[in-house]
Structures are given as C-alpha cells and as structure tokens.
Structure 1
Amino acid sequence: MPVVPFSPLASDQEAVTYEHGPDSLAQPGVRAGTVREFVIDDSRAYPGTIRRVWVHTAAGHDPSSPAAVTLFNDGWWYLDPAGDVRAGIVLDNLAAQRAIPPMIGIFVDPGEFPGSVMPKNRNNEYDPGDTRYVQFLLDEVLPRAIEGLTFGGGMGICGGSSGGNAAFTAAWHRPDAIARVIAFNPSFAQMPGGNPYPALLADGETRRIRTLLHAAHHDIGWNDREENWFAESLETAAALARSGHDLRLVVGDGGHSPNHGGVLLPDALRWLWR
C-alpha cells in the first residue's frame, strides 16, 4: 500500500508553489529524446493561421513499433524544458522507467494571425464546445505528426486553462479516437454559453473517457457566485463521478497557474495510461 509523506497544509492558499519531483528533472543516465518541429500554415479549419508543432519520441524509440499518442495543447508551453510542465523531460523519464507504453508526444501551439493586432487564435480554437478543434487535430495535425512513425495503442490529450476544456471537449466529441484526458485548471466557465458538461452528464449522456481533472482552490472567481472557475471544475468532476466515468480529481492550493499541473504531470500520465 502506498504511503503518502506528510506535507503541512498551506495556511496562505494564494502564495503556494509546488516543488517538482524527480520525474520532471533531467536524470543521470536518461538520454534526451528526439524532437522534430514543423509548421502548419495552410489550415483548412482555421484559415489564415500559422502554428508550430513539435513531435517528441523518447531515446531508442523504434519508429516501426506501434506507439500511443498524447497530444498537448499550448505546445511549447508544455514542452519547454525550463517551463512549469517540462513534458519532454517527463516523457523521457517515464519511457526510461517503462512506466507508460511507447509514446509519441505531439505538442500543438494555438494558431496565430501573422501581422494582426490580435494575433493569437487561442480562445477561438480552445473555448467553443464544438467539433472543429478535434477534427483539426485528427485531420490536419496527426497525419503530419506521425509521418515516418507507427501509430497504435490509443490516444490521449492534455491541456490547461482553455487548453484544458479544449482537451475535454475533444474527447467528448471523439471518444472513439481520443479516450484519455488530462485537464489542468480548465476554464469551463468561459465557454460560450457556459459550461455544458454538468447538465449533459446529468441528462444521461456518457462517454468512454478516462479523465484526470485538476482544480486550484483559488482559481479565477473561486468564491464568486458567477464565473467561478474552481466551482465549474468541481461540478464537472461531480457529474463525471455520478455518471460512472473513470475519473481522478486532484485539488490543489494556489491560483490560476500551470505550476501544480506541471508537478502532477508524471503521475497524471502514469494514471492515464495505466
């Protein structure tokens, strides 16, 4: 039976920073994986946008051997080895431990409009509850990303903030393709028309989705009656639990930050791909 080390409860919930564990740090004897970058500047789903995509494979990866895929929204924020999430380092360490199946990590930046006063297309891509973003991932990103590699073993998706609700929305619409979700601090509250998932789940809609959902106690509007990002995450988690979904909810201190989610990523991937 696992024993959880003692950790004091933070008295100031705003000023909290979680310390990364060893799986988020480059480890002696673990070779860095390979990262390939390409650009999408001809999107059919989001015309006029340009974006970068990175494809990570662990050291020693056999391109002829079937591998699972995890998609990461906000690509470089999640791949950056000096950032809060450090997903490339995490994937290298977990691959060396054989803690997850052979994995292709695909890191997708949101689109930008070159030369525009409002260049980023992030919220337009991530916040709507429709199928456009997931079809973009499946039809336009995935075929280019796995070129020269062998895909097999399922697909998951990870994101935070708007990227978190985009991850859940992608799996909700296409659980046949993406059946595993990690959502850190999702911004369900700012979806146009409001968060649809608690009501949909209460009305009996279900999906074969495994979801790790993270919420920060002092997320945006955490004690407000409306636009309460913390409460929306809890209500979505409760609806998933009541409807029998494979769910793990993790609640931390602090505000709307990628820090805690980044610290959780190694164990989130272990749980997601168990």
Structure 2
Amino acid sequence: MLRSLCCLFIALFTTTIFAADEQFKLGPDSERQADVPVGKLQRYEHESKVFEGTKRYYWVYVPAQYKPEQAAAVMVFQDGNAYADVKGEFRTPIVFDNLIAKGKMPVTIGIYINPGHKGELKSESPWQANNRSFEYDTLSDQYSRFLLDEILPTVGKDYKLTDDPNQRAICGISSGGICAFTVAWERPDAFRKVLSHVGSFTNIRGGHVYHALIRKTPNKPLRIFLQDGSNDVNNEHGNWWLANLEMESALKYKKYDHKFVGGDGGHNGKHGGAILPESLEWLWRVE
C-alpha cells in the first residue's frame, strides 16, 4: 500500500513538472526566418593544458554580418552542444541570426564549449563528459584562465574578437550557469555579462556561498540575468529554486544591474530557451 502511494505521488509530481514545462513555447525569434542571413557554425576539438589530460569539442558560430576588419563581440556558452543545437531547447545560432539582423544585439561570435573529458571523445553530448562538475562547480579562477589563455586566443587566430569586457558575455545551464557567474565574478575585467539558466548556486562544490559573498564584496561591474523554476531540483546539495531566489535577493540588495525571471518549470532548458531572445535583448541592451 505504502509503495503504491509513493509511486502515485512520484507519478503525479512528475506529471505536474511535465505540464509546467509544456507551457513554454519557442517564439518566432527561435525559428528560421526566410529573409535573415544565416551564420556559419563549425566544430573543433581542443586538448587543454589548464585542465590537464582533458579533451573537448567546441563550436564557433560566426554571423553573416561579421567583417574581419572589425572586432566582434563574444559570447561563450558552457555545455556548448546543448546551446549550439539548432533543433534543441535553445537554438542559439538561430536566435543570434534573428537578433543580429534586427539590430537587437551586436555582431557577436558565439563560442560553444563542452566540458572536458578524460579519455577518448566518443560523444558530442556535454552530459557524457567526466570532468564537468570539477570544471563548472569549483569556485576558482581556473575556468576563466582556460578561456582567456586557451580558447579565446585559439579562436582569435581566425577571427577578430573584442577585448572590451562590456562586449563579452558568458552563459550556461545548471552547473554551467554557476560556472558562467564564476568567470565574471573572478574576471570582471574580461567578462561583464552573465546569463544563467537554472544555475546550480548550491553546495555541489561550495557554490552556496555566492549570495553571501555578493552582499559583503564591493560591487563589480556586472550585468546578470537569472532564470529558474519553482519545480527545480531539491536534493542533498540544496534547493535550486531557493538558491536562485537568494542570489536574486543579494543582487537586488547590492543594486546590481540584474534581472530574475522565475516560473514553475523544472531543471531543464525549456523555460530558458523560450525566453532566450528576450534575455539576450536585455543583456545586450545599450543605455
């Protein structure tokens, strides 16, 4: 009897989350438009020195409007394949095409980086990488060094990238979301725009301290967009929804340039993908 009740509760809970997620729909800026120029997306492989012994795939998106003589803005994505997939939850290259064509964001080169994997690369899925949590959830400057010492110089050999921190953004989902914040927090001289989807500001590797650090640290020149849902994960590491509310409260207290969009979705990219065009417009707005 007890087992049957537990199974019924789990089924109802899962159905509730599914129903909540199903309300989020992609809009026209996440779909191909006939009159919009299409950028190019190419995959590469990288072996890291900062994260010794790891290999990873990464993708570079170059908009059709890019001109070699003009430095382009830069946006880096963790769990790169999830964001680069034009049939996935985010479809970021399509959104970039549409927003750049509308003048809603600058000519921006997107760099989509999978987490590192120790061993042979067998999958493009970021979720299969065995070094993901160490790279993303650790509170240190290591991942920012990986970007600034390895990835950006490598991409910069082929494309002219800006070195203006106000024209550099970084984004991620879950552990990739806290990683994006960590990079900007550690190196605001290099990245000043952050987009976090269902960010793991919990105690996986100490990330639960950020809301307290924000309150006690002099303000940094950051612009931060947070998205989460009330049906996000609640486990031994913490409660994702409450952790994001704590982050939003701390950012509000310190008067950061920030925005929090909450919903009732779960731990996925459905809500974040549905509002991605609006999120990017807000992040790249000129005041």
Task: State the TM-score, normalized to the length of structure 1.
Answer: 0.90
The reply on whether 1:32 has 2:38 as its aligned counterpart is: yes
Deviation at 1:36, TM superposition (A): 2.7
| Equivalent residue number for residue 8 of structure 1 | none
The percentage of aligned residue pairs carrying the same residue is 39
The 1-side partners of 2:236 and 2:54 are apart by 37
Residue aligning to 1:253: 264
1:139 aligns with 2:144: no
Equivalent in the alignment of 2:218: 205
Change (3 A) 1:225 1:34: closer
Deviates more, 1:176-185 or 1:147-156: 147-156
Residues 1:151 and 2:161 aligned together? yes
Count of aligned pairs between the two proteins: 261
Question: Any stretches of 5+ residues in structure 1 without a counterpart?
Answer: 1-10
- Counterpart of 2:278? 267
**Any residues of structure 2 matched to 1:59-74 within 5 Å, and which?**
59-74=64-79
| Partner Cα separation in structure 2 for residue 119 and residue 157 of structure 1 | 20
User: Residue 119 of structure 1: CA displacement?
Assistant: 5.0
Query: CA 1:136–1:212 in structure 2 vs 1: closer, same or farther (change >3 Å)?
Result: same
SS in 2 for 1:55: strand
TM-superposed CA distance for 1:31, in Å, is 2.6
- CA distance in 2 between partners of 1:239 and 1:119 (Å): 32
Give the conservation status (yes or no) of the 8 Å contact 1:204–1:243.
no
Which of 111, 127, 130 is the aligned partner of 1:120?
A: 130
Runs of 4+ in 1 over 4 A off after TM superposition: 11-14
Report the Cα distance in structure 2 between the residues aligned to 1:270 and 1:182, rounded to whole angstroms: 11
Following superposition, the deviation at residue 142 of structure 1 comes to 0.5
CA distance in 2, matches of 1:210, 1:20: 25
Moved more, 153-162 or 201-210: 201-210
Alignment partners' CA distance in 1, 2:182 and 2:269? 20
Query: Letter of the aligned partner of 1:200 in structure 2?
Result: L
Greater fraction of residues in helix: 2
Q: Kindly tell me: are residues 150 and 256 of structure 1, through their superposed partners in 2, closer, same or farther at Cα, counting changes over 3 Å?
A: same
Structure 2: give runs of 5+ residues left out of the alignment.
1-14, 122-127
Aligned counterparts of 1:174 and 1:150: Cα–Cα separation in 2: 21
AA in 2 matched with 1:69: V
Q: Does 1:103 align with 2:113?
A: no
CA contact (8 A) 1:112 1:120 kept: yes
Question: Which deviates the most, 80-89 or 27-36?
Answer: 27-36
User: Conserved in 1, the CA contact under 8 Å of 2:115 and 2:129?
Assistant: no
Change (3 A) 1:194 1:147: closer
CA contact (8 A) 1:100 1:269 kept: yes
User: Offset at 1:265?
Assistant: 1.2
**For 2:253, which of 218, 242, 248 is the aligned residue?**
242
Q: Work out whether residues 218 and 253 of structure 1, in 8 Å CA contact, stay in contact via their aligned partners in 2.
A: yes
Aligned AA for 1:95?
I
Contact 1:198 1:239 in 2 (8 A): yes
Looking at structure 2, the residues matched to 77 and 226 of structure 1 have their Cα atoms a distance apart, in angstroms, of 23
Change (3 A) 1:167 1:138: same
Q: How does 1:226-237 map to 2 (within 5 A)?
A: 227-237=238-248
The answer to whether the 8 A contact 1:14-1:218 is kept is no
1:15 to 1, 19, 25: 19
Counterpart CA distance in 2 for 1:217 and 1:205 is: 30
Q: Deviations over 1:135-168 (max 9, x none)?
A: 1011111111122322225210010100000000
Which residue does 1:178 correspond to in 2?
191
Give the CA deviation at 1:23. Answer: 0.6
User: Cα–Cα, structure 1 residues 225 and 239, in superposed 2: closer, same or farther, change >3 Å?
Assistant: farther
CA drift at 1:79? 0.4
What is the distance in 2 between the residues matched to 1:141 and 1:25?
29
AA at the equivalent of 2:34: P
Distance 2:78 2:129 in 1: 17
In the TM superposition, residue 194 of structure 1 has moved relative to its aligned partner by 4.5
